[in-house]
Structure formats: C-alpha cells, structure tokens
Structure 1
Amino acid sequence: MSVPVPLVIGLDVGGSSVKYVAAALGSAPGDAPQVLRRGTLATPGRRPVAGLVAAVAEACGSDEVHALAVSIPGLIDSGTGRVIRVANLPELDGVALQEELASALSLPVRVINDGHAAAIAEARWGSGQGRADVFTLALGTGIAGAHVLDGQVRVGANGSAGELGHVVVEPGGARCSCGQLGCLETIVGAPALQAAWRDAGGSGSPVELLRAFGDGDPRAVAVVERAASALADAILTLLALVDPGCVVIGGGLASAPHRLVLRAAQLVAERASFHQVPPILPAALGRWAGAVGSAATALECLGEDALGATR
C-alpha cells in the first residue's frame, strides 16, 4: 500500500514514555492529520537526542519522512527550539534539541511544549472544536496548559504562558520540582496524588484512587476532594486572568469517567463570584492529543508551498 505524502512524525515526550504518530495530511484543509501508525517507546535516558532519533526510525519504518515535531514537558525557547528547563527530564535541560535533531536527521524539525501540542489538537479537533477561545489543561505527572485563540497557541513573550501547574494554591506547602512551595502540581500531579493516597492508607496508582473515590471510599474521598479543591482554585484564577471561552481538561488523570474534572467543575461553579464560568469539558482525544498536535505542527513547518504541491 502506498503511503500518503508528505509523511511526518509527531513525538510526545513524557517522563516515562514517548508516544509517536506517523501521519499525513487530512483529506481536506483544516482536517486533523491522517494517523497512519502510532506507538509508545520508553523515554530515552542519558543520550536523549540519540534516543529520539531512534524513536523516529521506529515510527517511520522504511518510509521517507518529510518533517518532525517533538513536544517536551517543559520550557522551550520558541524561537530556537532550545530546551530551557524540564523538571521531570533534567537530561534535556539546555539542549539545543531542535538544532541537534535537524542536524542528525536532515529534516525540518520543530520543538514545542507538550501542553501546547495537546492544546492544538484538542482546540482544533477535540472538545474545543468550533470554539474560538479555548484554554486546555493536561493532568499527568505534571500539569501543562495552553491558551488557544483561533486555533493558534498564545505562547506569551517568552514562550512560557499557560503554566497553571505552577500557580501556588497552597502557600508554604510541599516543594515543587520548580522550586516553589505549594504549586498546583504538588497536589494534583500524579506523583503527589499517589503519595497522598498511600499516606491515607490506600494502595495502587492514581487510577485506583479515582476508582475508590467513585466507590465512596472515605480515604479516597478526602484525597480527591483536596485535589479537586486545589484544581478549582487554580481554574478560578485562570478565569479571572484570562477569561477563556471554554476550558478543556485532559491527560491521564482526567480520563473517563472524568471524576476529578467533574468534581472540580462543580466546585468552580459553587465558588465563582464575579467570574463568568465557561464550559469546563473533559478532553476528547485522550492520551494521543500531544502526539497528534506534534504531527500537525510538523505538517505546518513544511510550509504552505510544500503542502500545496502534495495535495
């Protein structure tokens, strides 16, 4: 079977795994990328550039690749694609990742923040589809966020806008990987939830915690109520500062049946004063949103001339 061209690769790099998609243009302008194959690999350790090059080879097989985009869970220099800081992957700190991958692969490469990649996908083709103003959150090991206007992420003056996970919701609380005390991630991030669940006498992952919450286990209820309360406070801060038209919450901790998201949305509605509370929706694209958003970014970095020539 012939492979559509141009073929691009989108990588979504997480703390423990790299999700990849090999994709081509959608069937019509504005459509989501056509995903041809996808998979998951272990996150590379001491040699991250070599590991990501190997991930591209795994993703493309024997097919020719025309562009690559990589989403990273940290701060990126949006002009150069240099990694500024990744709290959960310190091996990448300071790496000129876009330049090094482009040199190693002889391809156009774009490096973007993982929250931005997921936001692109969710705002254009997920729960935010058809809405001009969307703020997305991804709840996982860390908490990524992004503001999307008319399908484009607003990255801020220095490329670091949207970091809601580092809004302080518990002054003097636990130390965050960023160095602050009491960030949202220290309560709602997956490691924090798992630790709180363990301290409460529970066992298992945050998925088991949320299941126990749904079953009414009082230990789980206490842990999840604290997390939902912190998330609600952060969302209220977001509403006061940004006033988005829609809030979309995804990531592993927001997956169906969406218990944490729904409880936080209830608390936002209860606590809102002057705030105009927009729809607060679970994400639709699941754990592949970041990789799909990266693939869309890879297609865009080919340029309109290249894309038009292959339609």
Structure 2
Amino acid sequence: MSTPAVLGLDVGGSSVKSLLALADSSLSSPPEILSRARTITPLADPVDGLVEIAQSVPQQHPVSRVVVSIPGIVDETRGVVVRSANIPALDGCPLAERLGARLGVPVSVINDGHAAAVAEAAWGAGAGSDDSFVLALGTGIAGAHVVDGEVVPGAHGSAGELGHITIDPAGAVCSCGRHGCLETIIGAPALSAAWNTAGGSGGPETLLPAYADGDPRAVPVVQRAASALAEALLTLCALVDPGRIVIGGGIAREPHDLVLLAAQYARQRATFHHVPPIVPATLGEWAGANGAVRIGMQHERLATAAR
C-alpha cells in the first residue's frame, strides 16, 4: 500500500500553488515534494475549481489530508472563510466542510499569512529558532508569532497586525480608519506614492534597486520607510520578545537594503529592548504552499496519535 500524502493548496488572487508531500515526512527539514503545480485561481466557482485542482494531482500516493491557505479572514477552527477581498465568492463559505465532503478526506482552511509564517519559521529563515515572528511586507503589513511550529493567534485570531501600529498620529488615514499606521508609510501603495513624489517611477520593484545604486531620490524614501519599520520592530520586541524576526513579502525582496537598514535603526534605538536577529525571508512565493503542507503533516500526526 502506498504511503499517504498531504496536499497543500495556497490560493491567491491570480493563481493556486499546490504541493504534495508524504504525510510521514520529517518535520525538521523540508520534505521531498512529490508534485508541484500552479493553476489559475477559479474565481467564479472556487469550490468546484479547488476540487478539480485537488483531483488533478498525480495519484501515485493517496491524499489523506488537504490544507488550503486563503488570503483574508479565516475562522481556522471551523474552516470557514469569513471574508476574502481577493476571492469574494468564498465570503462566508464553510470551505473545509464543503471540500471535505467532495474529496472524502479531512480538509483544513488557514490564513495565508499564517501558512507562510509556519513555513518560514520551520524551514526558511527562522529555522533553528523555536520562537520566530514572521512579518510580510506587501500591499498590507501583517505577521504571525510562531512558537514551536504553531502560530499564536491571540484570543480572537487577529494577533500580528503590525501594519496597524501607529507610527505618526498626524499621518495619513489608513485603510483601517486610523491615522499614521505603519501601513501608510511602508505599505506598497504608500511606498510607491512616496517614490513617485520624489521623482521616481514605478513601485518597490524600481525603488529598491534605485536605492541600492545610490539614487539620491530613492535614499530618503527608503530611509523613512526603514525608520518607520524600525519603530514597529521595537514595539514588537517590547510586547512579544521574539527569538528571531523574519521579514518577507514583495517589499522585502532583493536587494534587502530596506530590511537591513530597519534592523540597523532598531538596534541603534533600542534601550531595554532585546533585539533578536532580524533576517530576510528565504522561501519566496512558495512559502504559503509549504506552510499548508507542513500544517497538514502536523495534523496527520495528531490524528494518528488519537487513533
């Protein structure tokens, strides 16, 4: 009989990334990937589309569990997508129940940021530390505290929203309705606006190389963003005291100058704070799929132990 496998589906606004790995693979290092694929996200009918994607996976090993990573607010206990701005057809959907009924195996649904954080903490830049805070810098700013391989979600599942720490009370209005949140300074739209106002063009993908080349228009933009991030990191250190901070997302892409400068500023400004190693993420766009696979492997172990 073939060894069972777990399937991780990382659902994004434009594509679904899927990974298949043996359920009994070691958790201490990335497993051997049996199958890897990328498919266009089925926005119109996501449940049918995800069933089709799951059933299209090569069947040399029977899939015993599926974990789906979703962008948005997820009730992970019940497997319900509360709201997903990128995939509105899933709003309010009991996705775990519906997929499980169709596929005939247990299905878990998790937030995509949590999935990426679990992978980075265990198999990426956080490897070797049992206490990591993984932060993603993109259009929005969010993070997750991972301790012993598990996300610490907070009492209401909303811990880690570092993007909504106030940096400048007199600053711009944030999408959350408050003023001067970190997101209004270093979120991709805000960073792009600052870069264009300074005379540049494009977004972080042009700003960061320009800074690396010493472009005088880019230097103050990146310095302001790094300064704001440093303040948020010091707040994180004061409240959470993580053993390592891992920073990923589009704004943290190579060259990593913004992350490295923020870390430098944080260390210079620290007083009582214990500033841990602050490092760039390493798993890139496949972090969410890797995290879904790892969580599936963890759930399989729990299920086996309960039998």
Rounded to whole Å, the distance in 2 between the matches of 1:138 and 1:162 is 10
The answer on 1:138 being equivalent to 2:136 is yes
Unaligned stretches of 5+ residues in structure 2 = none
Matched with 1:237 is 235
Rounded to whole Å, the distance in 1 between the matches of 2:178 and 2:92 is 21
2:63 is paired with a residue whose SS is coil
Matched with 1:263 is 261
Alignment of 1:88-167 (within 5 A): 88-167=86-165
Fraction of identical pairs, as percent: 58
Matched with 2:41 is 43
AA matched with 2:136 = A
* Number of equivalent positions: 306
Tell me by how many angstroms 1:53 deviates: 2.8
1:202 is paired with a residue whose SS is coil
Change (3 A) 1:187 1:90: farther
2:134 is paired with a residue whose SS is strand
Query: CA contact under 8 A between 1:114 and 1:144: conserved in structure 2?
Result: no
The answer on 1:68 being equivalent to 2:77 is no
TM-score, normalised on structure 2? 0.88
Task: Map Cα deviations across residues 271-294 of structure 1 (whole Å, 9 max, x no partner).
Answer: 212211111111222221111010
1:39 is paired with a residue whose SS is strand
Rounded to whole Å, the distance in 2 between the matches of 1:178 and 1:33 is 39
Rounded to whole Å, the distance in 2 between the matches of 1:169 and 1:86 is 27
Farther-moved stretch of structure 1 (158-167 vs 261-270): 158-167
AA matched with 1:187 = I
Change (3 A) 1:200 1:29: closer
Query: CA contact under 8 A between 1:146 and 1:154: conserved in structure 2?
Result: yes
Matched with 1:16 is 14
Farther-moved stretch of structure 1 (65-74 vs 243-252): 65-74
TM-score, normalised on structure 1? 0.87
Tell me by how many angstroms 1:198 deviates: 2.9
Farther-moved stretch of structure 1 (215-224 vs 41-50): 41-50
Change (3 A) 1:278 1:186: same
Rounded to whole Å, the distance in 2 between the matches of 1:135 and 1:19 is 24
- Equivalent residue in structure 1 for 2:274, among 273, 276, 295: 276
Query: CA contact under 8 A between 1:176 and 1:182: conserved in structure 2?
Result: yes
Matched with 1:220 is 218
Matched with 1:298 is 296
Query: CA contact under 8 A between 2:125 and 2:282: conserved in structure 1?
Result: yes
Matched with 1:185 is 183
Rounded to whole Å, the distance in 1 between the matches of 2:224 and 2:17 is 31
Matched with 2:208 is 210
Query: CA contact under 8 A between 1:15 and 1:141: conserved in structure 2?
Result: no
1:218 is paired with a residue whose SS is coil
Tell me by how many angstroms 1:102 deviates: 1.8
AA matched with 1:274 = F
Tell me by how many angstroms 1:201 deviates: 2.9
Tell me by how many angstroms 1:268 deviates: 0.8
Query: CA contact under 8 A between 2:25 and 2:297: conserved in structure 1?
Result: no
Unaligned stretches of 5+ residues in structure 1 = none
Farther-moved stretch of structure 1 (183-192 vs 156-165): 183-192
Matched with 1:249 is 247
Tell me by how many angstroms 1:306 deviates: 4.6
AA matched with 1:122 = E
- Equivalent residue in structure 1 for 2:76, among 75, 78, 85: 78
Rounded to whole Å, the distance in 2 between the matches of 1:307 and 1:277 is 38
Change (3 A) 1:104 1:188: farther
Change (3 A) 1:51 1:184: farther
Rounded to whole Å, the distance in 2 between the matches of 1:176 and 1:88 is 19
Tell me by how many angstroms 1:247 deviates: 0.6
Query: CA contact under 8 A between 1:109 and 1:301: conserved in structure 2?
Result: no
